[in-house]
Amino acid sequence: MNHDTLSVWYAERRVGTLWRGEDGRLMGFEYEEDWQRHGHAISNSLPFSQRTWPPETLTAHHWFGNLLPEEQARTALIRQLGIPDDDFSLLAAIGGDCAGALTILPPGHAPDSATLSSEDVVPFSQDKLHQWAAFKQRYTLFKETSTTAKPRLSLAGAQDKIPVVWLDEAFYLPRGTTASSHIIKFAVEGREQVIFNELYLNTLAALVGLDCPKTYVRYVDRYPLLIIERYDRQKEGDVFKRIHQEDLCQAMGISRTRKYQEHGGPTFADCIQALREICKPPARSLQQLLRWQIFNVLVGNSDGHAKNVSLLQNEKGKWRIAPAYDLVGTIVLGYDPRLAFSIGEQYNAMQLLTRDWQAFADACQLSYPFIKREIEHMRMRLSEHVDSTDIQHAVAEAGLPKNAWPRLQQQRHHIVKQCKKSAQW
């Protein structure tokens, strides 16, 4: 077996080959001839006008590296797996269920059949779930000693999370390359409030008209879990079908280390222009992106960066913006308050002035009156729902315990304050 190549699959069709460069770290990629004749480009940064991307160009490496966990989640996983800290080794270990439709497997392996059987999933051990939720022995599930296929699960981002199949209130761990249906997010130790906050903001976003996946809270003993329905999966009969996606870092061919504007990443205007070029027709995707940014400003989500915007691809290869995700009130929770995308030259959402939005409009090649109408639209909807009976009922239905609602008061007050300020923009 060649340990320096991996096969990239889209369902049961082979897309191409990923390989490790001579330096042992960088990756190259080449489309399969048949896929290039009859398929569609898997990324806007990997078009069919070219077949091969050598490692030294970094283009393919950036795209596939963006599928992987980051920061402390990556460090913990590598330690548990006992593998070298490089992207190729990590994809070889956990590339079987990535974001989107692709599976990445060793040579000689193919994706599992498109049916879901009892052999494809196993009940998630309550003991392991408890250990993970209680901040102990995370990632031990990747070292199962069972003779069944080990999980091959990859999710980008820094937060601890795991893909699962969630059926009838029971969690199952997908085996091999079986597609998951939901994502479980775990609290950071000492910050369980982030779970309640994200549930609240995801629910609020849906109420004000921002496309957002369904989100729930459940408990393991006294520890809360956030459960998010995957927007890149679709239930068809007894199987979850993968839907292809890429985030804006992948679409623009840049490294995950440049997801923030201040770290050399794209501006919001760059993202607007990318959607104009990629999404056809672009109007609805552009409006969703703009409303997402305004929502982030008003609720205090300073972590809305380029990897937190994704695009979905249909079977004809056409792209549109994906639902919003990772909506967290980072400012209220005490994280870095500087916006991931500036408004004009201003990164502080609480110090915005009319001139900042005018500069923002100019950079995005949008009219300021249009931007102002969108701000007013979001301000009115948020003011209506921030503390309404509808939002209280919706989060309760999603599993928010009664004693958690008062703990969201600071978040609600922040939104009310920002909405009042926005009337002067």
Q: Which residues are catalytic?
A: 303
Q: Which DSSP string corresponds to 163-202?
A: EEEEETTEEEEE-BTPPP-EEEEEPBTTBTHHHHHHHHHH
> What's the CA gap between 41 and 36, in Å, rounded?
8
Which residues lie across from 53 on neighbouring strands? Answer: 29
The number of beta carbons lying within 10 Å of the beta carbon of residue 317 is 12
Q: Which of 296, 310, 318, 313 is nearest to 382 (CA)?
A: 296
The token duo for 166 is: 């969630």
**Residues 324, 213: Cα–Cα separation, whole Å:** 7
Q: What span, in angstroms and rounded, lies between the C-alpha atoms of 139 and 80?
A: 6
Going by their DSSP bridges, the two strands 215-220 and 223-229 should be labelled as antiparallel
The span from the CA of 360 to the CA of 346, in Å, is: 10
What whole-number distance in Å separates Cα of residue 11 and Cα of residue 76?
Answer: 30
CA distance 46 to 35: 13
Return the beta strands (E) in 204-278 as ranges. Answer: 215-220, 223-229, 233-236, 239-242, 244-247
Task: For Cα atoms 34, 35, 36, give the angle at the middle one, nearest 5 degrees.
Answer: 90
54 alpha-carbon distance from chain centroid: 27
d(CA 44, CA 287) in angstroms, rounded, equals 20
